[in-house]
């Protein structure tokens, strides 16, 4: 395990200490959790954006997509536990 030194303003340091105490953690544990959560969120955002880019590329290559109304109807039915037929993709119209 390595050590990293960070410099933070006194006001932020006091806020971290208070928040950590409120959470029942040490300031060190609180900061590690915050860093871990932030890194995880950035990784999730990157994965989401990569998937969106891939899907957009597929849409542009095939020219096909599912209209929002059809997708929404399908997803609403599934969320409510109702059987639903997957909507068919169709050519994109401009």
Q: Residue 77's CB: how many other CB atoms inside 10 A?
A: 13
Element (H, E) at 64: strand 64-65
Please compute the mean of the pLDDT values over residues 30-41 and round it to a whole number.
98
Residues whose CB is less than 8 angstroms from the CB of residue 85 and which lie 6 or more positions away in sequence, other chains included: 74
- Per residue in 56-81, pLDDT (tens digit) is 999 999 999 999 999 999 999 999 99
- Per residue in 81-93, pLDDT (tens digit) is 999 999 999 998 7
Would the pTM count as exceeding 0.85? no
Please compute the mean of the pLDDT values over residues 35-60 and round it to a whole number.
97
């Amino acid at each position: 395990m390595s050590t990293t030194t960070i410099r933070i303003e006194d006001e932020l340091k006091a806020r971290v200490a208070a928040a950590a105490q409120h959470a029942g953690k040490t300031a060190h544990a609180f900061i590690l959790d915050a860093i871990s959560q932030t890194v995880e969120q950035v990784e999730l955002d990157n994965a989401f954006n990569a998937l969106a880019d891939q899907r957009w590329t597929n849409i542009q290559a095939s020219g096909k997509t599912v209209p929002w109304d059809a997708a929404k109807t399908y997803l609403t039915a599934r969320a409510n536990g109702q059987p639903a037929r997957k909507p068919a993709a169709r050519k994109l119209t401009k």
